[in-house]
Amino acid sequence: MHSVPVILTLTVLTVLLASPAQVIGWRPYRHQTNGSDQIFGASKKFEGSSNLVRLRYHMGPVLTNNITVHPIWYGTWQKSQKKIIREFINSISAVGSKHPSVSGWWKTVQLYTDQTGSNISATVRLGEEKNDRFYSHGKSLTRLSIQSVIKSAVASRSRPLPVNPKSGLYLLLTADDVYVQDFCGQVCGFHYFTFPSIVGFTLPYAWVGNSAKFCPGVCAYPFAVPEFIPGIKPVKSPNGDVGVDGMISVIAHEIAELATNPLVNAWYAGPDPVAPVEIADLCEGIYGTGGGGSYTGQMLNDDRGATYNVNGIRRRYLIQWLWNHVVSYCTGPNKLD
């Protein structure tokens, strides 16, 4: 294996407007002029520390109890695709994975605490799942209809998902033929919490879409590149599925931010709680040592030529680094494992 530098020249939006409230969204490459750049300037684009970054704790809850992720599979999914995602979730708390590991990456998340000093849980497990293979709310979803899908999953007459507001994460995954409001043009995934008026409970959730048919060059970068940017070649995905391998990085991003800011009142930077800049946003586009600006940092190649930066239980993945508030720079598993 050897390190492989990859150049990023694309853009990201970190905060998106939704009706009736704002939610946090993300794309896998950076934006040169978004609101957080105006707050932090170029400082957040570098692996090195910066006195300009002011990530603060706002006294809200974080997920200190053992975390259970409940996937909701919306639309048609192949068994092989589900397996890639399930194994990533199970790898977050896996013991004995080869360095650098997914579990080593999660150690940055564990550094964050609540107002009692309790750390975010080291345990993340795969919980009960729900299949919505018949597209119960259609193939075009709005931000609010996403919450209706979650309501259907927890209120189903047949095997409803358990309601767990304190340590459950509800992960809505849409198949490659499902379009979600603002998908591709503004966002590849987002997280927020459900409204009791719709779902009946306040539950932290995230949505991530499979971009394989709609916009792989946007949401599965660097495994695909946009046609309008010449001269950049995509790298080979580690699990042979460009759409799902692209989803993994977004899933990692959203789970990390859900753990540290589940109700959008805990760990974030910036003056506005409805438009927070969170621990993954601060490290947009950084996947390895030396990352910053337009450079992803050093990544790895396996013997098949596929690009990755962490090892799971049986697979390899490419996920971005996270902001470490203790040392005030982005860190990955090779710094904490």
Give the tens place of pLDDT for each residue, 209-256. Answer: 999 999 999 999 999 998 887 888 999 999 999 999 999 999 999 999
Better pLDDT: 21 or 152: 152
Which structural domain range is residue 141 located in?
Answer: 55-331
Q: Strand pairing partners for 267?
A: 57
Does a structural domain hold residue 115? yes
Which pLDDT score is estimated for 44?
Answer: 29
Which pLDDT score is estimated for 46?
Answer: 31
Which pLDDT score is estimated for 334?
Answer: 57
**Radius of gyration in angstroms for the set of CA atoms belonging to the chain, rounded to a whole number:** 18
308 closest CA partner among 258, 60, 316: 316
Does a structural domain hold residue 12? no
* Calpha distance 93→27 (Å, rounded): 25
Taking residues 166-194, what's their average pLDDT? 96
Residue 26 pLDDT level (bands cut at 50, 70, 90): low
Peptide bond into 165 cis (omega under 30): no
Does a structural domain hold residue 194? yes
Give the tens place of pLDDT for each residue, 276-330. Answer: 899 999 998 899 999 887 788 999 999 999 999 999 999 999 999 999 999 999 9
Which pLDDT score is estimated for 20?
Answer: 33
Number of CB atoms found within 10 A of residue 332's CB: 27
Does a structural domain hold residue 26? no
Contact 234, 6 (CB under 8 A): no
Residue 5 pLDDT level (bands cut at 50, 70, 90): very low
Does a structural domain hold residue 229? yes
Contact 286, 318 (CB under 8 A): no
Residue 278, both tokens: 């969170």
Predicted structure pTM score: 0.87
- Count of domains forming the chain: 1
Does a structural domain hold residue 81? yes
Strands 295-301 and 3-7: antiparallel
Residues 6+ apart with CB under 8 A from 296: 5, 6, 7, 8, 222, 285, 286, 287, 288
Residue 242, both tokens: 């460009």
Better pLDDT: 121 or 276: 121
Does a structural domain hold residue 337? no
Residue 66, both tokens: 């053992």
Contact 97, 37 (CB under 8 A): no
* Calpha distance 109→57 (Å, rounded): 14
Which pLDDT score is estimated for 25?
Answer: 55
Least confident of 24-28, 45-49, 102-106, 110-114: 45-49
Tell whether the model's pLDDT for residue 132 goes beyond 70: yes
Which pLDDT score is estimated for 231?
Answer: 84
Residue 134, both tokens: 């018949």
Tell whether the model's pLDDT for residue 12 goes beyond 80: no
Contact 330, 282 (CB under 8 A): yes
Contact 241, 84 (CB under 8 A): yes
Q: How far is CA 33 from the centre of its chain?
A: 21
Taking residues 5-10, what's their average pLDDT? 33
* Calpha distance 77→244 (Å, rounded): 10
Total residues belonging to the chain: 337
Give the angle 173-249-70 at the CA atoms, nearest 5°.
35
Residue 10 pLDDT level (bands cut at 50, 70, 90): very low
* Calpha distance 147→161 (Å, rounded): 14
Strands 204-209 and 168-174: parallel
Taken in order 257, 258, 264, 266, the sign of the CA dihedral is negative
Secondary structure class of 253 (helix, strand, coil): helix
Q: Strand pairing partners for 323?
A: 330
* Calpha distance 78→86 (Å, rounded): 12
Give the tens place of pLDDT for each residue, 39-65. Answer: 223 322 233 344 456 899 999 999 999
Does a structural domain hold residue 42? no
